Structure formats: structure tokens, C-alpha cells
Amino acid sequence: MAIRIFRCEHCDHKMRLGGDCCGWCNEYKKPYQRMYFYVVPLVLILFTAPNFLSL
């Protein structure tokens, strides 16, 4: 089962969250439609938060 939140702006296909392209027309996704856009900041927060808390 795949999580499909975003629609392709090119062909209106419902895209998976993972991957860099539309599964239907292979158009490149917008940055905000990618998993990294949410995962990378979350990981950075998780790694930096303990440093602030232990002061």
C-alpha cells in the first residue's frame, strides 16, 4: 500500500510520496511533494534538540 497525497501538476496523476518523479508521466516532482522535504528537517531537529535541552 502506498501513501498518495499529492497530484502531479502535469498529468493530475496521484503520486506516491517516495520517489522523485510522477509514476505516470515521469515528470519531476516539486520539492514539497517529496519525502526528503519533510524527513530531512525532522531528522535535523531530532539531532539538534538534545543539545539544546542538555544546556
d(CA 26, CA 38): 21
Determine, following the binding rule CB under 5 A, whether residue 39 of this chain makes contact with Zn ion. no
Determine, following the binding rule CB under 5 A, whether residue 27 of this chain makes contact with Zn ion. yes
Q: What are phi and psi of 54, to 5 degrees?
A: -85, 5
Nearer to Zn ion, 8 or 33 (CB): 8
Determine, following the binding rule CB under 5 A, whether residue 24 of this chain makes contact with Zn ion. yes
Nearer to Zn ion, 30 or 36 (CB): 30
Nearer to Zn ion, 11 or 44 (CB): 11
Q: Are 31 and 17 in contact (CB under 8 A)?
A: no
DSSP summary character for residue 30? P
